[in-house]
Chain A
Amino acid sequence: MNEPDYARRAAELLQKAPVPEAPPTDSDVETADVAAMETALRAPRPSRLMPALKWGALAAAVLIALGAALWVGPPMRRTTTSVIASAASVGTVAAPGEAPRRLVGGMALGQASRVMTPLGGAAELAFSTGTRVELAEGSELSLDALGERQRLHVASGRIAAQVAHVQPGGAFVVETRDAEVEVRGTRFTVEVVPVGARCTAATSSTRVAVEEGVVAVRFDGREVTLHAGDRWPRDCFAAAAPELGPQPAPSGSSLAAQNDLFAQAVTLKRQGDSAGAISLFEHLMEAWPQGPLAESAEVERMKLVAASSEAQGAEAARAYLGRYPKGFARAEAHTFAAKVK
């Protein structure tokens, strides 16, 4: 007798496995999704190689417009890479010459944008090339160039990059204040450590860890090639390799982190970005519910919410009074709560 095909039977049974019902749709989420799509639709996309005739016509038009200078200029096939923040990002972004704004999901980030994450926050950027970059808490990253050659600058903190295959003529480069990392499709992290955290063997404040592929690190006029599993500078990792991968949000004791987040929220509030400020206050409340700034964050949130909606303000006030019946803002909370019975 032939043996039954158990893989086929398993497949038939798994086909019948229950599919959960879709969660109820939320109109706010839908609105945000469509806004993200519209942003993506408007974002410039990589140009594709055109048929020869069209390409020639375009080249002629450009030549007429720019004159002979083009002959010594950059290659004619130019690409613009668009970058979009993911929905779960918490941080701020500043365009050149503009004040920082709250980072929201679907937001398109232009060249020279500076992205900052507070302590306790994180952000993820999706490039139209397929590359993804995660910013850990307390990081600052500038998108210095978004052409075929993409160049990022890490001023502080840590990024983890998963780089899609780079086309011939292109490059993906991450700079820090003292080193440069160039890749051609790989996964790696770059971290800028504080001055006091430098190991004695190396003078660089940059740390690189490669998970997949190959990267070149240039520092002090020398180039080192790193393969999967390698870390740089090697001397700094010889004794005890610090964890460079994604780390959990800090909990409990980091007063500096709380101060930083609170200050960023207050800055957004002063700039009139109530939604951004509320988001950061809520983040602080969630991350450090027992922290010394939790009550202040809840009071600030309550005031901001009450300014836009009496009903929601009353709800926020009742929540505050429930947690802090003898809180310093109880009189104000009672006033908000009394407005809507």
Chain B
Amino acid sequence: VTAHLQLVQTVPADDGALVRALKAKQPGAASALYRRARPGVSRTILRLLRSTEEHDELIQLVMIELIFGIERFRGQCSLDAWVSVVTAHTVFKHLRQRRRDRRIFSGLGEEGSAAHAVPAASAGRLAVNRDLVRRLASVLQKVDQAKAEVFVLHDVHGFDLKEVAEVLGLTVANVQTRLVRGRRALHELIRADPELVGALDDVGEES
């Protein structure tokens, strides 16, 4: 009980204190960062991959990247935003290093992974949307991966241009170019698929 109480007392009161504790390499700081950041890291990994595959391994990689990168964190954004960018950077780096056909959104093809799609929709609507999402993910695989990554990070996950640049190690101008070209490529691929166009038009009218 004593040990537990001592552990609780060493948890820094706010993010600033936590960052200072980490930079000072204080005992318990790593554990505090883990508890503070893990939920957000886990959410970002799952949101990016839509799959639980390699979730735990990626958590560890991200946590070590956070430790290595803490010296560079100057409070220019919130700790959550920084953790999110580091997580995305680690996930994308990891996917590239794996050198296998793991792509963003690859988890959408897994059976049962779409069980929670569009909570308010009816069962029929749910099935249609699930199928549509899978088909879109499949079309996205045909877009040049460098452009698709930018599109997914910016348009789907809501990272701003500067954050996408940090995640992918690019300049903001380069991100902007890839985004425009990625959107255009995706638009053309969808337009070439009348069935997909019809389905998207239906969804557009419903919403």
* A42–B71 CA distance with the chains assembled, in angstroms: 13
The contact of B60 among A10, A18, A105, A128, by CB within 8 Å, is A105
Q: Are B60 and A22 in contact (CB under 8 A)?
A: no
How many A residues touch the partner, as a band? 35 or more
Chain B binding surface SS class: helix
Contact with B along A246-265 (1 / 0, CB 8 A): 10000000000000000000
The contact of A14 among B34, B116, B130, B137, by CB within 8 Å, is B137
Binding-face segment, A1-9, A175-183, A331-339: A1-9
Q: Are A36 and B64 in contact (CB under 8 A)?
A: yes
Chain A: minimal CB distance from B207 (Å): 8
Contact with A along B131-153 (1 / 0, CB 8 A): 01100110110000000000110
Judged by a CB distance under 8 angstroms, whether A23 is at the interface is yes
Total number of residue pairs linking A and B with CB closer than 8 Å? 141
How many B residues touch the partner, as a band? 35 or more
Instruction: Collect the chain B residues with CB atoms within 8 Å of residue A33's CB.
Output: 34, 59-60, 63
Q: Are B203 and A13 in contact (CB under 8 A)?
A: yes
Instruction: Collect the chain B residues with CB atoms within 8 Å of residue A245's CB.
Output: 99
Task: Give 30 pairs: A residue, B residue, CB < 8 Å, sorted on A.
Answer: A4-B204, A6-B191, A7-B183, A7-B184, A9-B200, A10-B190, A13-B133, A13-B200, A14-B105, A14-B156, A16-B117, A16-B129, A17-B108, A18-B50, A18-B114, A20-B46, A20-B50, A20-B51, A22-B43, A23-B52, A26-B56, A29-B56, A36-B63, A37-B30, A37-B63, A38-B30, A40-B64, A40-B67, A40-B68, A106-B60
Contact with A along B161-200 (1 / 0, CB 8 A): 0000000000000000000001110110011000001001
Q: Are A15 and B156 in contact (CB under 8 A)?
A: yes
Judged by a CB distance under 8 angstroms, whether A234 is at the interface is no
Instruction: Give 7 A-B pairs besides A105-B60, A128-B68 with Cβ atoms closer than 8 angstroms.
Output: A4-B200, A10-B186, A13-B136, A17-B133, A18-B130, A37-B30, A37-B67
Given that A87-B60, A106-B60 are known contacts, is A20 also in contact with B113, CB under 8 Å in the complex? yes
* A245–B30 CA distance with the chains assembled, in angstroms: 36
* A245–B204 CA distance with the chains assembled, in angstroms: 47
Instruction: Collect the chain A residues with CB atoms within 8 Å of residue B67's CB.
Output: 37, 40-41
Judged by a CB distance under 8 angstroms, whether B102 is at the interface is no
* A11–B137 CA distance with the chains assembled, in angstroms: 10
Contact with B along A271-288 (1 / 0, CB 8 A): 000000000000000000
Q: Are B132 and A13 in contact (CB under 8 A)?
A: yes
Judged by a CB distance under 8 angstroms, whether A296 is at the interface is no
